[in-house]
């Protein structure tokens, strides 16, 4: 995903930011388009 695509989604208020905190304490940040299926996929990738 390009910065322009992210900027367009941000301007449309269509972005979600997800954080993952593994046991080593190094936080990872993920941005994705807001939709029920994308939210579910984000959680499923963590298991």
For the chain, the domains span 3-39
CA atoms within 13 Å, Cβ hemisphere of 28: 8
Angle at 24 between CA 23 and CA 30, to 5 degrees: 80
pTM over 0.85: no
Dihedral angle sign, alpha carbons of residues 18, 46, 40, 42 = positive
CB neighbour list of residue 13: distance below 8 Å, 6 or more residues apart:
none
Query: Would the pLDDT of 47 be above 90?
Result: no
Return the number of other C-beta atoms located less than 10 Å from residue 24's C-beta.
Answer: 6
Q: What torsion, rounded to 10 degrees, do the Cα atoms 36, 39, 45, 47 define?
A: -100
pLDDT at position 46: 81
pLDDT at position 38: 92
pLDDT tens digit sequence for 1-40: 688 877 787 788 888 889 999 888 889 999 888 899 999 9
């Amino acid at each position: 995903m390009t910065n322009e695509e992210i900027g367009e989604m941000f301007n449309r208020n269509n972005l979600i930011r997800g954080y993952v905190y593994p046991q080593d304490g190094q936080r990872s940040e993920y941005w994705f388009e807001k939709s029920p299926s994308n939210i579910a996929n984000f959680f499923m990738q963590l298991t």
